[in-house]
Amino acid sequence: MKYLLFVLFGIVTLSCSTEPEPLKYGTDVCHFCKMTLMDNKFGAELVTRKGRIYKFDDMRCFLNYYNSGNEATSDFQHALVIDYLNPGNFLNAYDAFYLKSSAIHSPMDGQVAAFQSKQHMMPLKKEWGAIYLAWGEVVTQYK
């Protein structure tokens, strides 16, 4: 009986998890544009306080949904973006460094890539002739 309780408790806590889930490229579908995720240099994820997970293939879709008002931005427990130089791995969207350039060919032509730090970003900034954006600027890009 005790064990059963433990198991039940486990299931309950599991189903309330608000932990992010890795993006499964080739299987997962962008919540906004319905495209299958393919390019692991790009992508993003939102996890709500209730544990609902939304996956995106491009900054454009991610921010369009983020700003859509379907959910208050304060309801998002996690906002994560894929590290361009570390494909498939997340960065906190609020702390990431962003580059915007027409040389960046992302799945939905969002033209934005995300980086972990300024040092990582600088060589590509020069190569692409890109402009640097912080979260506060990138969030208004597609309005």
Partner 1 sequence: MKKTWLLGLVVLHSFLSEAKTYVVNPKGQLKSIQTAISLAHDGDTVRVMAGHYREGNYIIKKSIVLLGENLPVLDAENKYEIFTIVANDVSVIGFRMINTGKASINDISAVNAIQTKRLRVANNQMENTFFGIHLANSTASLIENNTFHSDAEAEHLAGNGIHAWKCDSITIRNNTIRGHRDGIYFEFVTHSHVENNYSHHNMRYGLHFMFSHHDSYVKNTFHNNGAGVAVMYTQDVTMIGNRFEDNWGASSYGLLLKDIRDSHIEGNHFLRNTVGVYMEGSSRCRMEKNVFKDNGWAVKIQANCDENSFQRNSFLSNTFDMATNGSLVLNTVDYNYWDNYQGYDLDKDGIGDVPFHPVSLYSMVVEKMPSSIMLWRSFLVYLLDRSEKVVPSITPESLKDNHPVMKNYDYHF
> Which residues make up the interface to partner 1 (CB under 8 A)?
25-26, 29, 33-36, 38-41, 87, 105, 108-109
Q: Is the CB of 30 or the CB of 79 nearer to partner 1? A: 30
CB of 111 to partner 1, least distance (A): 12
What's 69's DSSP letter?
S
CB of 105 to partner 1, least distance (A): 8
Q: Is the CB of 91 or the CB of 108 nearer to partner 1? A: 108
Q: Is the CB of 40 or the CB of 77 nearer to partner 1? A: 40
Look at residues 126, 132, 64 and name the one whose alpha carbon lies nearest to residue 97: 132
SS3 (DSSP) at 131? strand
CA gap 111, 136 in Å, rounded: 17
CB of 112 to partner 1, least distance (A): 16
Indicate the length of the chain as a whole number: 143
Q: E strand or H helix at 98, and its extent?
A: strand 97-100
Q: Is the CB of 68 or the CB of 74 nearer to partner 1? A: 68
CB of 11 to partner 1, least distance (A): 16
Alpha carbon 93 to its chain's center: 7
Q: Is the CB of 29 or the CB of 122 nearer to partner 1? A: 29
Q: E strand or H helix at 62, and its extent?
A: helix 59-66
CB of 114 to partner 1, least distance (A): 15
Look at residues 110, 89, 143, 93 and name the one whose alpha carbon lies nearest to residue 33: 110
